[in-house]
Amino acid sequence: MARAASTKGPTRIQREKTEAILEAALEVFATYGYRGSTLDQIAAKSGISKPNILYYFDGKETIHAKLLARLLETWLEPLEHLSDAGDPVDEICAYVGRKLAMSRDYPRESRLFANEVLQGAPRILDELAGPLKTLTDKKSALIQSWINAGKIKAIDPHHLIFSIWATTQHYADFDVQVRAVLSDKADARFEQAAEFLDTMYRATLTP
Amino acid sequence: MARAASTKGPTRIQREKTEAILEAALEVFATYGYRGSTLDQIAAKSGISKPNILYYFDGKETIHAKLLARLLETWLEPLEHLSDAGDPVDEICAYVGRKLAMSRDYPRESRLFANEVLQGAPRILDELAGPLKTLTDKKSALIQSWINAGKIKAIDPHHLIFSIWATTQHYADFDVQVRAVLSDKADARFEQAAEFLDTMYRATLTP
DNA sequence: CATAGTTTTGACCATATGGTCAGAAAATTA
DNA sequence: TAATTTTCTGACCATATGGTCAAAACTATG
């Protein structure tokens, strides 16, 4: 079996191969979705034979589950960092910036998530209704407290968060479209987006 | 063959069956993406046997292509209606409203499009780089003229349009997530969104 | 280096899936 | 109603795909 004895951790080979498989799988799943992806594609991309992949993972489902679990760990992080330390408007704009940076630096993760949610989130519905909702409610309350204190304009906190998710993830999920429309100016899309979004959210929030 | 003689149009049966197949196919493709969908699913949902489906359409690909072609016809319509007739801010907000209404009334079409673009738009890349880019450039120029005339605040027109697409389509494409987060208040999501987006874009655009 | 443990593979299997086809059933027309 | 055309189906096929397994190849260690 691939699982090493409980006392020792995974061997070097196990770590390397497991990582190579997950790396290739992320690429494939993010591009074609769960059902559209095949073990043969992952095998080809990782350079690891299909039976060997199944030596390290129980099956296609398990690989996908592992990727999603990893993703969810880091996905909520930017929002968690939203605190009442600094100026509310700056705080929210900083969150927008972090989220946009994630679209730039981890577009595959964004697409993996988008594919999953778009298809009804069959494998992560519990996470959405649980941890995600809990965190969103908590941060919405924080935003509401800022509104009550007159520090930002009165808007619906939940929908503000939705709009931030939508506008930032758009640059990863709809990248092909963004590039097609911007064509020659596409290279600067993230800098342009950063400036536009900063302007928009400052205008929206500044009292 | 299913194709009627060139002189006569399609028969009643042809119209009905073709429509039933496309209706079922839209449902299936929007939910599972192209590769994730099967003819058997479409057959089951439409109540038309697989061989009979293939009597009306050349194959899976053709059905999908037909749906995309139809979609693109109507997809750009809301943006085309953006004119310099009324007040610029009202015009843009009206466009946001139309786009949000499409997410509410045609969520499957939105998801079909999202699935396609998310996976690299292999079948509609030409449409994006052609008609979509042309229209977007034209309307960006209109928005820029409003900026030059001092009628709205100076923002990047292309990214304004992206943000409108993102925020409105989010309510169709990420519906599961929106509902999970709003839970008991989910029923009113479109009214809430309409109000929030109107507020945000007025704040962003009003000079 | 010999042995025990780990990793890798080729061959293979069962099922799913897109698609074909000859002929039956139904509808239309003469 | 008989002939003709359109619509529909069961049986079938080729390929793709997730997964299995026995044995080979490799690695680490006493």
List pLDDT tens digits, range B155-178.
999 999 999 999 999 999 999 999
Q: Do the beta carbons of residue A60 and residue A115 sit within 8 Å?
A: no
Query: CA distances (Å), A116 to each of A36, A63, B64, in order?
Result: 12, 14, 21
Question: What sign results for the dihedral spanned by CA atoms A112, A110, B38, A44?
Answer: negative
* Nucleotide with C1' nearest the B35 CA: C17
At B66 the pLDDT is: 97
**For chain A, which domains are there?**
3-67 (1.10.10.60), 76-205 (1.10.357.10)
At A3 the pLDDT is: 46
Nucleic acid strand C within 7 Å of A14 CB: yes
DSSP letter (8 states) at residue A8: S
Q: Do the beta carbons of residue B175 and residue A118 sit within 8 Å?
A: no
Distance CA B68, CA A64 (A): 29
At B8 the pLDDT is: 59
**How distant is C1' of D11 from CA of B49, in Å?**
14
At A44 the pLDDT is: 97
At A8 the pLDDT is: 53
pLDDT at B200 over 50: yes
Kindly state the tokens that stand for B92.
């843009």
* Closest alpha carbon within chain A to B31: A119
Based on C-alpha coordinates, what's the Rg of chain A?
20
pLDDT single digits (tens) B111-150: 999 999 999 999 999 999 999 999 999 999 999 999 999 9
Distance CA B17, CA A71 (A): 43
Query: CA distances (Å), B164 to each of B25, B92, B116, B124, B161, in order?
Result: 28, 9, 19, 21, 5
Q: How confident is the model at residue B5 (pLDDT cuts 50, 70, 90)?
A: very low
Distance CA A103, CA A84 (A): 24
Q: Which of B111, B113, B163, B185 to mutate to test the interface with A (most CBs of A within 10 A)?
A: B163
pLDDT at B3 over 50: no
Task: Please name which of A153, A164, A19 lies closest in space to residue A89, comparing C-alpha atoms.
Answer: A153
Calculate how close chain A gets to B57, using CA atoms only, in Å.
22
At A12 the pLDDT is: 74
Inter-chain touch A163–B197, beta carbons under 8 Å: yes
Share of chain B above pLDDT 90, in %: 92
pTM of the model: 0.95
Footprint of strand D on the protein (CB under 7 A): A 12-13, 37-40, 50-51, 54, 59-61; B 2, 4-5, 11, 13-14, 17, 48-52, 55
pLDDT tens for the 207 residues of chain A, in order: 454 444 456 777 778 899 999 999 999 999 999 999 999 999 999 999 999 999 999 999 999 999 999 999 899 999 999 999 999 999 999 999 999 999 999 999 999 999 999 999 999 999 999 999 999 999 999 999 999 999 999 999 999 999 999 999 999 999 999 999 999 999 999 999 999 999 999 999 999
